[in-house]
Amino acid sequence: PVCVCFQRSPIVYILSGMAPKMAENEIPIVAEGKSGVKRGSSQNIHRRFPTVASYVSELGGDKGIVIEKVLIANNGVAAIKAIRSIRRWAYDVFGDERKVKFVVMATPEDLRSNAEYIRMGDVIVDVPGGSNNHNYANVTLIVELARLHGVHAVWAGWGHASENPILPDTLANSNPPIKFIGPAGPPMRALGDKIGSTIIAQSAGVPCIGWNGADVEATYDRATGSLPEEAYDKASIANATEAFEAATKIGFPVMIKASEGGGGKGIRMVDNAENVQTAFRQVCGEVPGSPIFIMKLSKNSRHLEVQLLADEYGDAIALNGRDCSVQRRHQKIIEEGPPVAAAPDVWLEMENAAVALAKAVGYTNAGTVEYLYSEEEKKFYFLELNPRLQVEHPVTEMITGANLPAAQLQVAMGIPLRHIPEIRELYGKNRFEDVISDETTMIDFATTKRNDPTKHCIAVRITAENAEAGFKPTSGGIQELNFRSTPNVWGYFSMDSSGAIHEFADSQFGHLFASGDNREQARRNMVLALKELSIRGDISTTVDYISKLIELNDFVDNNIDTSWLDGIIKDNIDGIAEAAPKGSVLRRSTSVAIKSLDDHTYAALGATILAFDRCSSGEEAFLESLGRGQLPPQNLISMVQNVELILNETKYKLVCTRLGPHKFAVAVVGDKEKFVSTNIRVLSDGGYLIDAEGKSHVAYVTSKGDSASGMRMSVGGVSVAFSPDYDPTSLRTDVAGKLVKKLVPDGAHLKKGEPYAEIEVMKMFMPLKVEETGILTWCNNEGATLAPGDLLATLELDNPENVSAAVVFEGCLRVDGLDGAASTMGNNRAHLLFRKALGVLTEGMCGYVLIEDELSDAMENIYKAATDPSLPVFEIDEQLSVLSGRLDANLFQTLSGMVSDFKQKYGDGSQPVAGLRFPASKVEQLISDYSQSIKDPAESVHFSSLTTPLREAAAPYIKSSDAEVVGSERALNSFLQILRDWISVERWFCNDISYADAVENLRKANKENSSSVLNICRSHAQLKATSKIILRIIETIADGSRVESVTGKSPSVVAGAAGLDDALPCLSDIASMGGKAYAEVALAARKLLLHESLHSIEDRKSRVSQAAQELKNAAEKQIPKEVQHLLDENVPLSDVFFSLLNASADAQEEIALAELYARKMYRTYSLRDVKHLVDQRTLKFSFTTKQTKSVFSSTTPMTSMSDLSRALSRSSSLSNLDMTKNESESDLTSLQKSDNIPPNTVRTVFTKIV
């Protein structure tokens, strides 16, 4: 036993009314005691126990066990009800609703449908999908999961495996044994079988209605839970002939039932001999292998049931009961309690008979005995005993105050009924007693009167069935489920508004319970609850149907029986069963939501949804066309969508530009520069998560709209309805067809709603009607073929002022978003900035629209990131963090210390630290050293695999030699990947290959992967934009290939990258691309290739220095051989001249360099009188024009046939092949071409070095 005592008292007060009142600052202390010690505090207040074990220890009997982990072998409303009820009990008893843990099973269908119970479980276990024999009814799977997860008990609820005796038997025989929260296998086997339970009932003296086994009596074997086999055989119907004979003997009408049936399956009513054999075969087919029996149909009878609860010590009680007479084809629709149809004395007999039956078979836990009750005869007949909890059990909970799932758990833990606090309270006893074994505190359930109910309860099942179509089950998503509990009405559902009813789910997904002081008050409360319940989605529900049903006079007067609802459906009383209009949605709502966003935001969100859906549909159509072997039109992958939306009489003409797979720029037509940035994602429930200017919104399209109605969507629970574009002056058709007949002549005056034409659509003739009054003018002729949207006629309105036209919005959209600084705060880190910028380029290369400013910004951001010393640190740290606890502790600590030290020195990056660079090579060295120290080959392989991502992260920063651009190799690798991807796309289209041929070649090469064809075609469709990106990358690589940067210009982002030579294969492929569309890119690649084919800069610097020295030492009018070779080879000097000039400290050497440069610039002229004025640091020379004698010199380099063809086609100098000449050289060439001075004219040049 558990004792509660309080601080600051020398006495331990046991739970009794004599304990002193606890002060506010006193803390309760829980202490263990022994049996027989008095318990204190008031007996009827809620006590708190520290553990489940302490609770069982005090209240349990000899069979007490502790259950703290339960497997829920069910789904839907059953799982939800069990978890909620037991958690409520756990909080009351322990102050912790999680004292009992729940393991729940989840099929793929339940996961996709967003089932509520999955979110409630402590442990979620994936199980196979499909029908329940693969999951919730699979005993082997349930037992194995229970064993694997170490649960103490299994709760099966109702349906599925709840009535399969193999489950409790197998659990009991497992090692260790696992408790089944329900009856044991033998009584379940006996009572769950309808034939066996009826034999047992009539053998125990319980009244039974006439049936084919009425004369069979047998003794029940409690040890095995079985009856003699001959008793079963005698009470079963073997074939259709026996069925005919038994039905004739019993007298019509009869019920043919399968012993293992239930839930409306395996049961047929037969009212004449001719239908017996057919009905028998149908029952056999619905429940294959089940024994069959036939019973008399009791007309005008009620379906009443007694709720049983029995413990493991032989006690059994009746917790009142329920009236379940409102049924459709023997499927319960409405339940209520307590039953008021039976007289009190008769009801008491029914309860006593049910208790006697339970005791006769040694039944334990919860169960239900069902009876047929004849009000006319005031007699009851045993129907069956359900050895499980039933879905309508909350009715009993509301009228008795008992928590049945919690009571089931307590019984399973071996607690006697007389010790369960709620049961004691129900029988007028204190919840806790000093000594339970005392005569005054013991409960003799046979003689102690149960408290009478103080209220009435009515329950309604909420099912996904179409009442107007014969209660046909429906499935699909739920967009809205709005239920508000009140003090008199509560309910629960198996999913919320984001869920769905899948094809394998139970059609019941909710249950409502209304209570009142009497039946009429409970009924009225239920009517109001049903009218306020709002359910919207792809499913149909019975809500409206039942709300009408319980307002019928027969239900109000309680003049009903089991055939009442079937009679209503058959006779169509009060039009309840009328077929609903096609496409109607069952929905009721009593509240009007207030808009929380402005119209501009709604317009932007709606336009984004429409644009995204159109793009997605276009891509799907593209793939379908490919699959059919057709040539998909390029407009299917258009990145620009024009959208028109009308909201509150304002028309928004918008253009949505797709910037990425999920990114759009929404702008008003004509003003694309000012746009709203949106990002859209599709949720699993069919909704859209849209980020507009950094602020997220969840939207659901409730109606896509048509010619008669606009799109409707729900944003944050607010319904937004866009209006259709209403123009009654233009008479158009919204379907394709043929104009068959003009019903009125040109100029006819028509009234609103009058037909004016007939069109033929799919061999059907349809009339077209005007929507306003006016004079008609025809624009088309009879026999014309019509497409959707074609104009048939115009209508001059009599009263145009009565037709309100939408005003076209002008200006720019104003959508409030999050603070820009706050939204971009996390992107300032170098590695995030680099990836975001690279993502922009990648999306542009994939065929999405890339705004020109975005290209410049992306290249700038890549440069910022690559020149940030923290870039390698963050990228290496990311990979290192994953290895925490997986690497050697010392190695990990050393690497982490390096990262931490650098971050400390770097700070926030606002104050640059000179010479700060992360030693990435040391990371590689540490890893390599540790790898070599590992002796075990297997461990070495594992270590290598483990650290590969870390090494790959560090590698680019080892290969970057420029201290200013630490991420040059990282940037180069990214650029090269973009080049390779672009080449892999455009190689299918270059060299003037037609689009049709290219697509056909792609289709053949990608037979199993049509998505690749789509991606390639989408990228090619934006060739102009992707070419700009490629040009920028080529320019960047060209800049990086020069050692010395231009004065005043930042170094290239790839400067110092070791892998620059890796670009040559890509450049060669691009240079070889033919076709007008590729001319600019190919030329840029050829220029860079030609430059790369020349001597390296260091070699040229050496040769230029050597040539300058020879010029310095040479005699006048004599050109050294090395200088002449340098000039003949047309070696570029511009990128090395100024660096050598700046580095020189010798005036003679400076003038020699100037002469060399002058001879290079004036190589198409004849130089004479060259003089070095050293004192004045001046070079003086004269020159005259000369005629070109030859196109080529002996040393002219030719890198391609294109260069040769170009040179031969021009009558110009060799400089035309020098694609690397600077602006000065180009100007001189132009000067020569336009020079009108005679060839022998001498001109003098003075070049002064300052």
Nearest Cα neighbor of 187 from 221, 152, 225 is 225
Q: Which two tokens stand for residue 356?
A: 């006697």
- Only one residue has tokens 């659901």, namely 700
Q: How many residues does the chain have?
A: 1250
Specify the amino acid at residue 1167. Answer: L
| 3-state SS class at 553 | helix
Name the pairing type of β-strands 301-310 and 365-374: antiparallel
Q: How far apart are CA 931 and CA 100, in angstroms?
A: 48
Distance CA 1083, CA 380 (A): 99
CA torsion angle 1029 1035 1040 1046 (round to 10): -130
Q: Which residues lie closer than 8 Å to 1028 by C-beta, 6 or more apart? A: 850, 852, 855
Q: How far apart are CA 507 and CA 465, in angstroms?
A: 7
Packed helices 76-94 and 52-59: angle between N→C axes, nearest 10 degrees: 80
Token reading at 902: 């650098």
Measured CA to CA in angstroms, residue 806 lies from 422, 667, 723, 773, 1078 at distances of 66, 19, 9, 20, 47
CA-CA distance, 44 to 431, in Å (whole number)? 5
Cα–Cα nearest to 588, from 551, 541, 629, 632: 541
**How many Å apart are CA 105 and CA 79, to the nearest integer?**
10
Are the beta carbons of 92 and 99 closer than 8 angstroms?
no
Please report, as a single letter, which amino acid is at residue 750.
L
Q: Which long-range contacts (CB under 8 A, 24 or more apart) does 554-557 make?
A: 555/326, 555/523, 556/520, 556/523
The residue behind tokens 């937004």 is 720
Peptide bond into 869 cis (omega under 30): no
Q: Residue-wise over 869-879: b if at least 16 C-beta within 10 A, else e? A: bbbbbbbbbeb
- CA dist., res. 844 & res. 1236, Å (int): 51
Residues 6 or more apart whose CB falls under 8 angstroms from that of 621 comprise 632, 636
CB atoms within 10 A of CB 525: 21
Q: How far is CA 896 from CA 831, 875, 893, 959, in A?
A: 18, 13, 5, 22
Residue type at 153 in one-letter notation = A
For the chain, the first-to-last Cα distance in angstroms comes to 105
Residue 553: burial class (beta carbons within 10 Å; 0-12, 13-18, 19+): exposed
Which of 1038, 1110, 1043, 1039 lies closest to 1070 in space, CA to CA? 1038
CB 465 within 8 A of CB 472: yes
Torsion of CA 840, 841, 842, 843, to 10 degrees: 50
Q: How many CA atoms lie within 13 A of 1153 on its CB side?
A: 25
Query: Active site residue: 47, 189, 268, 388, which one?
Result: 388
Determine contact, residues 225/186, Cβ cutoff 8 Å: yes
- Residue 758 DSSP SS3: strand
Q: Is 1243 a catalytic residue?
A: no
Q: Which residues are catalytic?
A: 388
